[in-house]
Chain A
Amino acid sequence: DIQMTQSPSSLSAFVGDRVTITCRASQTIKNYLNWYQQKPGKAPKLLIYAASTLHSGVPSRFSGSGSGTDFTLTISSLQPEDFATYYCQQSYSARAFGQGTRVDFK
């Protein structure tokens, strides 16, 4: 089974900061990598699919990159509504998620 490892598990940041979250797969997954945002008590929302394609309606301050085994999610200028938990998910074989990265106020 493909394992997904995110880092860091949590981070604290100010509004306006640039934030980067990384996700590593245990084997190559091409660009079959999705990113989701989840707020407390809510279902996850799709942010990015195919490693770097922004889902419809997602602000352009979110971006994704990577292929093979190493991927990143970047928020160029953190906004108050971006404080949430972020998950990567591989869709190469089955659909395993990373353990999540919680982004909160510094």
Chain B
Amino acid sequence: QVQLVQSGAEVKKPGASVRVSCKASGYTFTSYDINWVRQAAGRGLEWMGWMNPDSGDTGYVQNFQGRVTMTRDKSTSTAYMELSSLTSEDTAVYYCARSGFGSGSSSDCWGQGTLIIVSS
């Protein structure tokens, strides 16, 4: 079945970087975009950006420009999201989700979420 499996929870110090992985299975990895969404405790969903796993093209929300990098390894059908210069405001659950290409698409499959805690 279509599945996205994310890496485990991490605790990071302020100023550090974190990389979250998202392994796809059950479908052709390069046929769907991968989006990253985060959710702080008790808060709503915040879309961070997208990546086309085929071309490697990316698009990031301005709030994260310069701090986020989305990459992929086509050989293992794995997408990665790296966030740098972490602060306590980055403590959240991070989700990957696949979507069709371009405008009008929706996310029909989500990873289980990865909790990132930023604390000194």
Contacts and interface: CB of A to CB of B under 8 A. Distances in A.
Interface of A: 1, 30-32, 34, 36, 38, 43-46, 49-50, 55, 87, 89, 91-100
Given A44-B110, A91-B103, A94-B59, 5 more contacts: A34-B107, A38-B45, A43-B95, A49-B106, A89-B106
A38 B42 CA distance: 12
Contact of A43 (B46, B59, B61, B110): B110
Contacts of B35: 95
Contacts of A95: 35, 47, 50, 99
B89 interface: no
A51 to B, nearest CB: 10
Which of A45, A46, A98 has the most C-beta atoms of chain B within 10 angstroms of its own C-beta?
Answer: A46
A44 B50 CA distance: 17
Contacts of A93: 103
Given A43-B110, A43-B113, A55-B108, A96 B103 contact: no
Contacts of B37: 44, 97
Contacts of B45: 36, 38, 44, 87, 89, 97, 100
A22 B46 CA distance: 19
Residue with the greatest number of chain A CB neighbours at <10 A, chosen from B95, B97, B103, B106? B106
Nearest to A100: B44
A87 B95 CA distance: 15
Contacts of A91: 99, 103-106
13 contacts: A36-B45, A43-B95, A43-B112, A44-B37, A44-B45, A46-B106, A55-B108, A91-B105, A92-B103, A95-B47, A96-B47, A97-B47, A99-B44
B47 A94 contact: yes
A29 to B, nearest CB: 9
B44 A34 contact: no
B5 to A, nearest CB: 12
B53 interface: no
A43 B111 contact: yes
Contacts of A30: 104
B86 to A, nearest CB: 22
